[in-house]
Amino acid sequence: MKKDLTPEKELLFCALGGSGEIGMNVNLYGCEGKWLMVDLGMTFSGMEYPGVDLVFADLEFIEERQKDLLGIVLTHAHEDHIGAVPYFAADLGVPLYATPFTADLVRRKLQEAGIAKEIELNVIEGTDSFALGPFDISYIPLAHSIAEGNALLIDTPYGRVFHTGDWKLDEEPLIGEPATEEELTQLGDEGILAMVCDSTNVFNPEASGSESGVYTGLLEEVRKHKGKRVLVTTFASNVARLQTLGEVAKATKRQLCVAGRSLDRIIEVAKDTGYLGSFPDTVDFTRAMDLPRGEVLIIATGGQGEPRAALARVADDSHPISLVEGDVVLFSSRQIPGNELAIGRIQNQLAARGVVMVTDRQSHIHVSGHPGRPELEALYSWIRPQILVPVHGEIRHMREQARLGRACGIPKAVDQKNGDIIRLAPGEPGKLAEVRKGRLLLDGDIIVPADGEAITMRRRMARDGVLIVVLGAKRQITVSGIGLPLDEDYDEFVKEAEGDVAKALAKLKGAMAKDREAVSEAARLAARRAAQRWCGKKPQVRVILPEE
């Protein structure tokens, strides 16, 4: 391999996102001087990035090799696999490839961003194969919690890769027709060099379960609550669950109401691409509220605690849909790690109003879209790869899947993380190098590094507050504090801090007294020490000097 990390007569793998975390999936395959990208996702921000909504993988490594990137192949339409496309596809300047449902959602995202005409978007029908340089690629349909979940079969001069994407096993998926055991076994018979596999649910000792079972669970649960308004919150992208809820509404003779723009978009795309053909007509919010309480079933976004989603607004009574004591909310989705506090906040608001809540821990109203251990073991036995590369999980998930794969007889399992360049062939599989990885943030309308000064400063200000020290032209000193825990003592603190700054400046002599940098630093330290003495905080200090 060359020093510039161009793949030679070899097959390489590198994750820039999604290996060491759940979400933000970006995977690269390198072969004979060229690179292929699989998925370009994002994740949602948490408390560690104040004021930020979206987080992306840092693509610097592949951006520097843009001329050798052949295309971006999208496995399915979840945001953690396609969410970054509108922000980076134009700069990367390569074609996109997706099946119809995914392509329709991506096209709408590109149109909203005003860049649809700049991006070549290729729609791949069924299992048609297509070639990109040394890569020959086919979609292999697998069950997942969205329409058209797919694995990729990537054929190269050095062996075939089975890239699972997100998947599960489901004999009755309701939406789509996943590959059968016989078809997957045939792929294994033909020989698979490496399987790059979803690790999300590796600690689950049971299979994820079928969507058909969720229909029965939801039907029984809705029937329990006669005369009550029932709201079901689920992932907007779960087309099979939407189909299920449509059937439940018909079976219980309830009118269906949909709350959430992402739900409206998914339903429209699903219908345009041949899904949800029997989905019932919906009623608007006004009509839903006028119906007798036991004659409406509401589907709403926001089950992960998103503050601007429909459920959050229903919970704080700022949405046209209202719930009262005795009404019911069914959480038909799993709690994504990291969202516990946000979900708990909304559930507490609902509980305070007497709303009854049911989760998947109390009733069979949700199944995961990711494989438990029995499903992983089954796929291993059908595909029989020579190498297992766990992805899509935190380190603990990926290491556990590597152990499981070895225990099931897979000859080699590679431990890797974001930024590791892994040689899959020829020779012994293993790590060759480590390249830059990291996170980028959508901060307002600007993409900035996660470790940049703006975010670092914002985090510090949120923790310790801010002091502004203004040095006037006539040696007048003004100190103002923001976010300091000194409500009752604030005036006394300001007086003392201003005195401390004056004393510090008086000690400067000669050239130092005229050195603007020295004056600013002396004032900053004096004000910060005063704040630490008064409240134990070390605030960020901004010193404003008089104009020269």
pTM score of the predicted model: 0.90
Considering just the CA atoms, what is the radius of gyration of the chain in Å? 28
The β-bridge partners of 255 are 296
DSSP single-letter state for residue 13: E
Whether residue 465 contacts residue 482, with contact meaning beta carbons closer than 8 Å, is answered with yes
User: What pLDDT does residue 4 have?
Assistant: 67
What pLDDT score does 106 carry? 97
**pLDDT (tens digit, 0 to 9) for every residue of the chain, 548 residues total?**
545 678 999 999 999 999 999 889 999 999 999 999 999 999 888 778 888 889 999 999 999 999 999 999 999 999 999 999 999 999 999 999 999 999 999 999 999 999 999 999 999 997 789 999 999 999 999 999 999 999 999 999 999 999 999 999 998 888 889 999 999 999 999 999 999 999 999 999 999 999 889 999 999 999 999 999 999 999 999 999 999 999 999 999 999 999 999 999 999 999 999 999 899 999 999 999 999 999 999 999 999 888 889 999 999 999 999 999 999 999 999 887 778 888 999 999 999 999 999 999 999 999 999 999 999 999 999 999 999 999 999 999 999 999 999 999 999 999 999 999 999 999 999 999 999 999 999 988 899 898 888 888 888 888 899 999 999 877 789 999 999 998 889 999 999 999 999 999 888 887 777 788 998 999 999 999 999 999 999 999 999 988 76
Q: Which residue type is seen at 232?
A: V
Where does 156-238 have alpha helices with state H? 181-190, 211-224
pLDDT at position 197: 98
Quick one: which H or E segment has residue 544?
A: strand 540-544
Residue 245, number of CB atoms within 10 A of its CB: 28
Structure tokens at 95: 């074609």
pLDDT on residue 132 = 98
Contacts with 210 (C-beta within 8 Å, 6 or more apart), sequence order: 170, 171, 172, 173, 367
| Separation CA 466–CA 450 (nearest Å) | 21
- What's residue 451's pLDDT? 87
Helix (H, G, I), strand (E, B) or coil at 207: coil
